[in-house]
Amino acid sequence: MKMTKKLTAVAVALLMGASAFAIDGTEIMQKVFDRKKPDFTQAAVLLTLTKDGKVEETRKVGEYGRCKDGLTDMTMVFLSPAKVANTRFLVKENEGKDDDKWIYLPDLKSTRRIAASDGEKSFVGTDFSYDDMSSREVDEDTHKLLKESEDKGNFKDLYVVESIPKDPKSSQYSKRISWVTKDSWIPTYIELYDKKGNLLKVNEIKSITQMTGNGGHVYNIPTENVMTNVQKKHASIMKLGNLKIDQPLADRFFTTDFLTNGK
């Protein structure tokens, strides 16, 4: 009888273990993807490049965002230093397919589309790639909830989710591990692994600011984002200031004409 009770307890434990989480990895990443964003955002970005913890360069960037019909557009205008001034970048999110991305290079005085094959390349000399600057469909990856609660960085009680591309050719990374807040569904810490399975980069949100927009809706806005290439010991730090939300912006800000003309 004692043996029977022991076996029954083990069986119950195995069954509970198989369904211990009330939510799975795919649900979590879908909530991340579906997180409500302001209709419009505008910010002054301070972009700092560091090597081994020492500042190499500081850049000033203007950033404009729009969320329309659930899809996000973003334009960045580099203001200084002189070597990147007037570089302008636009990314437009698409549903069910890759985002469209363009960049205006003042030295060439031309706007060009960023090809999918260029997605792994550095974004204007930073540790972000062009693909890092755009979205990824949830169903492109297989998501597994690794832990239901873990503290990481400046945040506590986070979901830990592993995401592996269904098609390895669709991503520059072999996998991503994300630590996601349970209240705002923001990945505040992401480990990005190269094709050999080695840790390549870490993307960490250092701070989140709550702001009230139209209709009294409260948004959680990441205001400091650090991308670190751990293999090169180089980092790019983006800090948002003078942040405005839900203040309408003209459609022209999100066109290739604006990239070319700056107006």
Domains and CATH numbers, the chain: 23-261 (2.50.20.10)
- Between the two ends of the chain, the Cα-to-Cα distance in Å is 82
| Residues 245 and 219: beta-carbon distance below 8 Å | yes
Predicted pLDDT of residue 15: 46
Q: How far apart are CA 122 and CA 105, in angstroms?
A: 14
Predicted pLDDT of residue 223: 97
Read off φ and ψ for residue 245, nearest 5 degrees. Answer: -130, 150
Predicted pLDDT of residue 20: 60
Enter the tokens of residue 104: 């205006």
Would you give the distance in Å from CA 211 to the centre of its chain?
Answer: 19
Predicted pLDDT of residue 215: 87
Which residues in the chain land under pLDDT 70? Answer: 1-21
Would you give the distance in Å from CA 166 to the centre of its chain?
Answer: 19
How many CA atoms within 13 Å lie on the side-chain side of 202?
A: 16
Predicted pLDDT of residue 88: 98
Contacting residues for 109 by C-beta, under 8 A, at least 6 apart: none
Predicted pLDDT of residue 178: 98
Q: How far apart are CA 213 and CA 216, in angstroms?
A: 6
Nearest residue to 100 via CA among 130, 128, 65, 122: 130
Residue 152, burial from CB neighbour count under 10 angstroms (0-12, 13-18, 19+): middle
What is the pTM (predicted TM-score) of this model?
A: 0.90
| Radius of gyration from C-alpha coordinates of the chain | 21
Q: Is 177 helix (H, G, I), strand (E, B) or coil?
A: strand
Q: How far apart are CA 142 and CA 131, in angstroms?
A: 18
